[in-house]
Amino acid sequence: QGFKDNLHAVFCLAENAVGPRATRPDDIHVLYSGKTVEINNTDAEGRLILADGVAYACKDLGADIILDMATLTGAQGIATGKYHAAVLTNNEEWEKACVKAGRNCGDLVHPLVYCPELHFSEFTSAVADMKNSVADRDNTPSSCAGLFIASHIGFDWPGVWVHIDIAAPVHTGERATGYGVALLLSLFGGASEDPLLNLVSPLGCNGDCPPEDMERDSKRRRLV
């Protein structure tokens, strides 16, 4: 799609099967970030490899922008419904951009509360840096799940971190919807040399730019 910046896709995949090395309650894992995690919920397993994925993107790939996307929490469907994915980010501009990109492409997005100073205490552990699941399931669990991932790059990390929970909109009945592909193309389209993606992108040059300006500035545009 004419994307000239340094782009990586990190797939955080694991076999979710019972075996002699399966995670057990009260286990303590040392994650790739170096932080320790006490397991208090073996069903909150996906966030463990997502945390390693963002830590890898930060430490090994030197990413300036990290976007993680996953079917993370059943609570997402309660928080933002079947048609809107939930977005959690440390950057207000990118929060607005995700919402606008969703409207432009049809993969709808709605923000979650980002407030680590109030919500990350849900993961407090007496024996590790954190637990892997919240103490109170009534206290914005989808936001908290995203904060768990963010904590492994650090809440003071200077880059852009975006978390998109797509648990509900990825399927309708027994069928997949393909949610997320159009959203990513729209969101990052401003860094592409594709005129159509430039038009739908909320970042960089957008539909307000004349075509001649779009072509002239395409190689100079950057998302950050």
Cα–Cα dist 68/7, whole Å: 13
Q: Per-residue pLDDT averaged across 72-99, rounded?
A: 97
Short-list 155, 108, 112, CA closest to 130: 155
Over residues 100-148, the pLDDT tens digits come to 999 999 999 999 999 999 999 999 999 999 999 999 999 999 999 999 9
> How far from the centroid of its chain's Cα atoms is residue 28's Cα?
24
Over residues 63-83, the pLDDT tens digits come to 999 999 999 999 999 999 999
Q: Specify the pLDDT at position 102.
A: 97
Band (223; pLDDT cuts 50, 70, 90): low
Q: Specify the pLDDT at position 216.
A: 44
- Reported as type and span, the H/E element at residue 79 is helix 75-80
Q: Specify the pLDDT at position 222.
A: 53
- Give the domain ranges of the chain: 27-200
Q: Regarding the domain delimited by 27-200, which CATH topology (the fold level of the hierarchy) does it fall under? A: Aminopeptidase (3.40.630)
Q: Per-residue pLDDT averaged across 46-50, rounded?
A: 96
Q: Specify the pLDDT at position 16.
A: 76
**Alpha-carbon Rg for the chain in angstroms:** 18
Question: To the nearest whole percent, how much of the chain has pLDDT over 90?
Answer: 79
The answer on pLDDT for 214 being more than 70 is no
